[in-house]
């Protein structure tokens, strides 16, 4: 079975309601659907109801940028994955490096968050990746292996099919510095081998692996041309409908 391809736009903490409305409008208007490629947008939490409503007559999927590791209860300020599902989300990110950095989310917490997202009926896009110093020291594979291991030791086998992984080298996020297709493919193939060792070949072969870090219209096709790159997680370039549509078309 061919792996699903996903082009996801991480809007981060950007856009007010009117701007989100305009962006979604532009995407809906310009989208030429490719049946094997799913487009996903990931607005900040406060925009989810609005964007969910705007997407109701569209094939574009909705996702969230994070959620609590708890499902509900006394966790003031946290966001329940069940609520995300009820608002129409199909996906949620877990462990974006900005969350790991700004909120001290550990590998284990990220894994627990992913598990509670899946338990709530979402597909979890779990981000992994190394810093510049880890890349330069040559320790990036150990870092990523630990992140992947925590995930597959926490999520039970029967739910592993709901996971998507995103390789996002921290040094490439928002810097304009993209990993070369060869660098990205090397890590993607490493991640797939780690999943195979922890969860078996079947799970590894079916798990979509996205690349993120300054993905743009002019590098999308060469990245997506690699055998283990099944999609892109796009930050800055997902905030303009023309550019994001070009990335989608290039995939
Ligand atoms: P970028 O962000 O495309 O702006 O580098 C990617 C991400 O952080 O998901």
Chain segment 154-199, per-residue pLDDT in tens: 999 999 999 999 999 999 998 888 899 999 999 999 999 999 999 9
* Annotated catalytic residue 96: yes
Cα(116)–Cα(156) distance, integer angstroms: 11
Predicted local distance difference test score (pLDDT) of residue 149: 98
Yes or no: say if 238 and 34 are a contact pair by the CB < 8 Å rule: no
With a 6 A CB cut-off, is 214 part of the ligand 1 pocket?
yes
Which atom from ligand 1 is nearest to the alpha carbon of 238? 3
**Would you say residue 58 lies in a domain?**
no
Q: What is the dihedral of CA 147, 151, 154, 159, to 10 degrees?
A: 180
* pTM for this entry: 0.97
* Domain assignment present for 221: yes
12 in a known ligand binding site: yes
Quick count: other Cβ atoms within 10 Å of Cβ 49? 14
C-beta of 63 in contact with ligand 1 (< 6 A)? no
Q: How far apart are CA 38 and CA 167, in angstroms?
A: 18
CB 208 near ligand 1, within 6 Å: no
| Among 120, 132, 130, 125, CA closest to 110 | 125
Q: Which of 162, 168, 185, 243 is catalytic?
A: 168
Domain count, the chain: 1
Q: Domain holding 89: CATH number?
A: 3.20.20.70
Q: 127 CB less than 6 Å from ligand 1?
A: no
Q: Is the CB of 169 under 6 A from ligand 1?
A: no
| 94-151 pLDDT tens trace | 999 999 999 999 999 999 999 999 999 999 999 999 999 999 999 999 999 999 999 9
Tell me: pLDDT of 4 over 90. Answer: no
| CA dist., res. 190 & res. 187, Å (int) | 5
Task: Tell me if 56 is assigned to some domain.
Answer: no
Whole-number pLDDT of residue 1: 62
Q: Which residues of 108-145 are buried (b: 16+ CB within 10 A; e: fewer)?
A: ebbbbbbbbbbbbebbbbbbbbbbeebbeeeebeebbb
Q: Residue 39: inside a domain, yes or no?
A: no
Would you say 231 is a known binding-site residue?
A: no
CA of 53 to the centre of ligand 1 (A): 25
Asked if residue 53 belongs to a domain, the reply is no
How far is 185 from 158, CA to CA, in rounded Å? 27
Q: Is residue 196 part of a domain?
A: yes
Whole-number pLDDT of residue 2? 80
**Residue closest by Cα to atom 6 of ligand 1:** 235
Please indicate, yes or no, if residue 136 is contained in any of the structural domains.
Answer: yes
**What's the domain range around 140?**
5-26+72-249
Would you call 168 a catalytic residue per the annotation?
yes
Give domain status of residue 35, yes or no.
no
Cβ atoms of 10 and 234 closer than 8 Å: yes
116 known ligand binder:
no
């Amino acid at each position: 079975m061919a792996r699903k391809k996903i082009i996801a736009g991480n809007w981060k903490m950007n856009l007010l309601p009117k701007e989100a409305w305009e962006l979604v409008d532009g995407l809906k208007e310009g989208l030429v659907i490719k049946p094997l490629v799913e487009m996903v947008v990931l607005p900040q939490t406060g925009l989810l109801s609005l964007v969910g409503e705007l997407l109701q007559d569209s094939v574009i999927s909705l996702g969230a940028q994070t959620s609590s590791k708890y499902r509900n209860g006394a966790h003031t300020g946290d966001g329940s994955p069940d609520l995300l599902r009820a608002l129409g989300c199909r996906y949620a990110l877990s462990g974006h490096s900005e969350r790991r950095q700004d909120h001290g989310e550990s590998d284990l917490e990220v894994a627990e968050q992913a598990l509670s997202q899946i338990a709530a009926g979402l597909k979890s896009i779990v981000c992994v990746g190394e810093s510049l110093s880890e890349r330069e020291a040559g320790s990036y594979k150990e870092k990523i292996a630990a992140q992947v291991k925590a995930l597959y030791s926490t999520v039970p086998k029967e739910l592993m099919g709901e996971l998507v992984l995103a390789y996002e080298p921290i040094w490439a996020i928002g810097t304009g510095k993209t990993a070369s297709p060869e660098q990205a493919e090397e890590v993607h193939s490493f991640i797939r081998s780690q999943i195979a060792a922890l969860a078996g070949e079947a799970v590894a072969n079916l798990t979509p692996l996205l690349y993120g870090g300054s993905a743009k219209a002019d590098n999308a096709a060469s990245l997506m041309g690699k055998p283990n790159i099944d999609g892109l997680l796009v930050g800055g370039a997902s905030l303009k409908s023309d550019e994001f549509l070009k990335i989608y078309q290039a995939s």
